[in-house]
Amino acid sequence: MRLRRERVVDVAIALLDADGLDALTMRKLAARLGVQPGALYWHFAGKQALLDAMADRFLEDFTADWPAGSWDEQFAAASWRLRQVLLSHRDGARVMAGTYVAEPNTVLLGNRAIEILQAAGLPPDRAGWAAFAAFHFVLGHTIEEQAQLELAGRGAWEPKLTVDGIENKLAATAFTADPAERFGYGLQLFLDGIRQQLAR
């Protein structure tokens, strides 16, 4: 069968969803594929290359059905959707954060984001920087959101609201509120900032 490379990514993602990123090893993956560990290195240069392929798979068909509307509606919808895609795979955000933007679907998404912002009126380079900043926010937020999910799922979960006798305000606001509400607020902050830039 000539569909090996794709199947490796399929099973790797299944393993990720089941056991998490820390438990995703080349050896376990090989075992599940009924193959020797070394065989994987014919298909992928190394573990990171496999992770890159997995992250890119997350974004499959992402740009295919793109949201309609004004530039800020499109940008907001895409951001919400990216968060959703990352949340739909265990440790999804952490996987994506470790990759470099060089795989096809990732490039397509980045280009699309830049085009939206350019069409809105931002200069090309600023559009790129803004897209990057937004990407960092979504990743950072979702990594932390999933980290909380892991901790909650693994039992022991006390937010540590005071440390060394001083109040942990960041923890208090972050762990109490609804993650989606927090995400929406950060996104709004970002969009307001771009609008302000456009007004200049």
Residues that bind its own copies (CB under 8 A): 97, 100-104, 107-108, 110-111, 113-114, 124-133, 135-137, 139-141, 143-144, 147, 160, 163-164, 166-174, 176-177, 182, 185-186, 188-197
Picked from DNA, its own copies, none, the partner binding residue 27 (CB below 5 to 8 A depending on kind) is: DNA
For position 25 contacting DNA by CB under 7 A, the verdict is yes
The amino acid present at 43, given as its one-letter code, is H
| Contact between 137 and 113 (Cβ < 8 Å) | no
Among 41, 80, 132, 137, binds DNA (CB under 7 A): 41
Choose between 11 and 107: whose C-beta lies nearer to its own copies: 107
3-class SS shares of the chain: helix, strand, coil, % to 5: 70, 0, 25
- The footprint of DNA on residues 47-76 (CB under 7 A) is 47-48
Burial (CB count within 10 angstroms: exposed 0-12, middle 13-18, buried 19+), residue 197:
middle
CB of 167 to DNA, least distance (A): 29
Q: What are φ and ψ of residue 170, in 5° steps?
A: -60, -45
Q: How many CA atoms lie within 13 A of 167 on its CB side?
A: 4
Q: Which residues bind DNA (CB under 7 A)?
A: 2, 4, 23-28, 34-43, 46-48
